[in-house]
Amino acid sequence: MRYIENMNYFLPRLKQAAVLLLFFLIFIPVNSVSADPLQWSITGNILYFPADNGVDSDPAPILPSLGGALSFKLTGPLRLEFTEDIYLTNYEYNSELGYPMACNPENRSALVIGLITGIQVMGNFPLGNKGTAFRVYAGPAADLRIVALAVGLNHPDDFTGDIKTDPQLQTDAIRDHFWSDARWFMPVAGLGMDFPINEKFLLGFDLRVWFPVYKAWTDKDLPAINGWRFGAGIRITPRSN
């Protein structure tokens, strides 16, 4: 039942992401983008945050995200790329285990808006002369999380003063956890390919992984899979003139 509830929550947001992506494709002018030295893309991704929190926890979140990328040519096939991925999800705080867990809406205490910001060096290697290219990249990234009390949890009876049930206390604990001990620092590596879909656009596919390097100095007692991030997505890039 938890799996079905999670999918019912996830699918409408995936449709919303698809509509926004289509809007960008239709209304953003292609001639506003320079060709080779500077390139930008819009992106849509599915993010997976695996976790092993026990049988009483909700399923690990699978989240849609929207974002963009901006890259500058360095030398040869090398480019410097800035990326931004935005996602939303619900969290609760498990006071017995002492850390936050992503959850279904009915168990929420906090709404987390994640801004995954990356700066990476990218190798872009053409395959033939028709616009197809292979990309590989890596660099530092940070999940800059805005943590707010979840919508709808503002009734006076909600604030019990006990962290096990009080959403405000849980929200504060979730915020403190995410912003302490550099838990926001998650270097990223990935690869992808671009294919020409017409004279104006390239269609790209990306696979990425974010590394929880902070577990080298904190959270060493948590399950090994907790903290890892995986993403699969598409990107649309205006073609060079």
Confidence at residue 158, expressed as pLDDT on a 0 to 100 scale: 80
| Mean pLDDT of the residues in the chain | 86
CA distances from 133 to 205, 209, 226 (A): 11, 20, 33
Neighbouring residues of 237: CB distance < 8 A, sequence distance ≥ 6? 39, 40, 41, 194, 201, 202, 204
Q: How far apart are CA 17 and CA 163, in angstroms?
A: 34
Residues in the chain: 241
Locate the domains of the chain by residue range.
2-236
Confidence of residue 24 (pLDDT cuts 50, 70, 90): very low
Coil, strand, or helix at residue 2? helix
Query: What is the average per-residue pLDDT within 162-173?
Result: 94
pLDDT of residue 29 exceeding 90, the answer is no
* 58, 102 Cβ separation under 8 angstroms: yes
pLDDT tens-digit readout, 209-222:
999 999 999 999 99
Report the top-level CATH class of 2-236.
Answer: mainly beta
More confident residue, 201 or 6: 201
pLDDT tens-digit readout, 60-90:
999 999 999 999 999 999 999 999 999 999 9
